[in-house]
């Protein structure tokens, strides 16, 4: 994900301030009372199709907060792909770089690093042997507890643990590390402020936490692009708030709030 909106920089109307390189996935969701055994057919009581994929989720959240966004990805040349492109348009996301391919849909994400923009890297799904250049080349490295564990080999179950894992990631070259901790909010650490800081969030009644991490990353990209003069801590407080709103409703993108539904002091 790349974001740029430094003060004084003039962007043309059409130019996106948040560009997401990542996946678009169609979720086929069946509600059943239990999982089928291998080869077994069971009755489901509900079925629905949803729009998912971590990259697209993050892009949708940033767009709903008012960011000018563009989604860089490939979908299949089929009805799901066609519907997905329509979903991006419905969310006011530019599809200029959203392509349709005859080949099977791929779920891989790649990052293009360009010196003119701020890059926010979300290592999901995490692999232990992540190319070390991802640590040094991203401006902000944002992961969840599980990803921090896989990358560092340390167990992460508390804000203190997250601070230690973040320290390891900073030693590997990350400029700024954020570890999200579900209902515990997040922990931040940077090369310039090398003491971990826990940013708690208010307790909410969680209905469905699916996609909370993507809501958080999308909101953070929005603040990096549109409010670059805010302190990182303030951006994280606001991103915690927005992600908490998303856990209070069911679904992934369907639970992401729009700017008009949020308190004015977030903008
Ligand atoms: N129960 C909750 N109450 C309040 N805020 C929450 C809750 N769960 C998640 N959040 C918010 O969402 C952010 C991301 O959550 P989390 O660390 O669970 O990400 P994630 O594991 O990537 O999410 P998921 O994989 O479920 O999409 C947290 O930093 C926090 O701001
Ligand atoms: C963290 O994100 C990964 C996707 O990379 C997901 O599989 C995992 O369940 C998440 N961890 C938590 C604690 O939510």
Q: Which residue has the tokens 């909106």?
A: 5
Q: What is the DSSP string of 60-120?
A: HHHHHTT--EEEEEEEESSHHHHHHHHHHHHTTEE-TTEEEESSPP---------TTSEEE
From 123, 144, 186, 214, mutation site for ligand 2 pocket: most ligand atoms within 8 A of C-beta: 144
The answer to whether the CB of 200 is under 6 A from ligand 1 is no
Residue 124 has a pLDDT of 86
From 141, 182, 250, mutation site for ligand 1 pocket: most ligand atoms within 8 A of C-beta: 182
**Ligand 1 centre from 183 Cα, in Å?**
6
DSSP 50: E
Residue 44 has a pLDDT of 76
Output the six-digit token pair for 8. 């004084």
Beta strands in the chain (DSSP E): 2-3, 18-21, 25-31, 46-52, 69-76, 93-94, 98-101, 118-121, 140-144, 176-180, 186-190, 197-199
Residues with CB under 6 A from ligand 2: 124-126, 144-147, 213
pLDDT at 120 over 50: yes
Output the six-digit token pair for 168. 């390891």
**Ligand 1 centre from 82 Cα, in Å?**
30
Tell me the pLDDT of the chain averaged across its residues: 88
Would you report the helix, strand and coil content of the chain in percent, each value rounded to 5? 35, 20, 45
**Ligand 1 centre from 184 Cα, in Å?**
8
At 235, is the pLDDT very low, low, confident or very high (cuts 50, 70, 90)? very high
At 104, is the pLDDT very low, low, confident or very high (cuts 50, 70, 90)? low
């Amino acid at each position: 994900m790349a974001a740029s909106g430094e003060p004084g920089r003039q962007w043309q109307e059409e130019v996106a301030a948040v560009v997401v390189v990542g996946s678009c996935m169609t979720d086929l969701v069946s509600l059943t009372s239990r999982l089928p055994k291998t080869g077994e057919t069971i009755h489901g009581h509900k079925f629905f199709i949803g729009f998912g994929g971590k990259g697209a989720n993050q892009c949708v959240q940033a767009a709903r907060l008012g960011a000018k966004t563009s989604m860089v990805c490939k979908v299949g040349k089929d009805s799901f792909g066609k519907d997905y492109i329509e979903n991006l348009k419905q969310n006011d996301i530019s599809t200029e770089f959203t392509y349709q391919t005859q080949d099977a849909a791929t779920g891989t994400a790649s990052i293009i690093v360009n010196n003119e923009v701020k890059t926010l890297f979300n290592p999901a799904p995490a692999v232990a042997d992540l190319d070390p250049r991802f640590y040094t080349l991203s401006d902000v490295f944002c992961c969840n507890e599980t990803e921090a564990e896989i990358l560092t080999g340390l167990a992460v179950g508390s804000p203190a643990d997250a601070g230690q894992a973040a320290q390891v990631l900073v030693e590997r070259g990350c400029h700024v590390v954020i570890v999200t901790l579900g209902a515990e909010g997040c922990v931040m650490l940077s090369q310039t402020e090398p003491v971990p800081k826990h940013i708690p969030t208010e307790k909410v009644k969680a209905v469905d936490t699916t996609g909370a991490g993507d809501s958080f990353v999308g909101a953070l990209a929005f603040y990096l692009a549109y409010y670059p003069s805010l302190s990182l801590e303030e951006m994280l407080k606001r991103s915690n708030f927005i992600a908490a709103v998303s856990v209070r409703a069911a679904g992934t993108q369907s639970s992401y709030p729009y700017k008009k539904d949020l308190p004015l002091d977030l903008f």
